[in-house]
Amino acid sequence: MNKLLATLIATLVTGAAFAQAAAPATPAVPATPAVVKAEAKADKSVAAAVKSEAKVDVKADTKVEKAEVNAAEKKTKAVTKSATTKAKAQAKAAKADADDKAKATAKAEKAGVNADAKADKTIIKADAKVETVKANATADKAAAKVETGAVKAEAKADVKAAGSK
């Protein structure tokens, strides 16, 4: 939630800074209507691209947070199940007759080792999934940043082209 809030505030600050950007120095040649129109269109498209990038960032961060929460739940569940399985096996071994005590204890130890191994596998899979989601989120953020850069460059080129007409 903190990341989401920080991202939203950063977007707000960025938007405000963009909206209050200093006007460019007046060119030596007065701006033609085509240049003014191109600049307005460029500003609008750049603002939309920045807003879109912020949305992608927030969405990616949310996905990562969800994946981390799910992984924590899976880990907790696996550890709890392992502990329960081991406790049941040990209780069963404790109830065994004196003749079967050694065999029952060995069986309980084996059950405990198997339960721990299964829990460890679940934990590893959960961590791997979180890492995958993080990598995808980073890729999504990078792609959005590249798209924003492309829109800015295209807008700059359109304004330049309108000025040369």
Q: Does residue 122 contact residue 74 with C-beta atoms inside 8 Å? A: yes
- Write down the pLDDT at residue 160: 86
Q: Does residue 165 contact residue 37 with C-beta atoms inside 8 Å? A: no
Of 48, 42, 39, whose CA–CA distance to 11 is shortest? 48
Q: What rounded mean pLDDT belongs to the chain?
A: 86
Tokens of 63: 């996905």
Q: What is the pLDDT of residues 115-124, one digit of tens each?
A: 999 999 999 9
Residue 129 has pLDDT above 60, yes or no: yes
- Write down the pLDDT at residue 100: 86
Q: Does residue 133 contact residue 140 with C-beta atoms inside 8 Å? A: no
Residue 162 has pLDDT above 90, yes or no: no
Across 56-75, average pLDDT: 96
pTM for this one? 0.68
Q: Does residue 115 contact residue 86 with C-beta atoms inside 8 Å? A: yes
How many structural domains compose the chain?
1
The boundaries of the domain holding residue 125 are 2-163
Q: What is the pLDDT of residues 3-41, one digit of tens each?
A: 766 666 766 666 655 555 555 555 544 568 888 888 888
- Write down the pLDDT at residue 32: 82
Residue 125 burial (CB count, 10 A): 14
Of 92, 73, 90, 84, whose CA–CA distance to 115 is shortest? 84
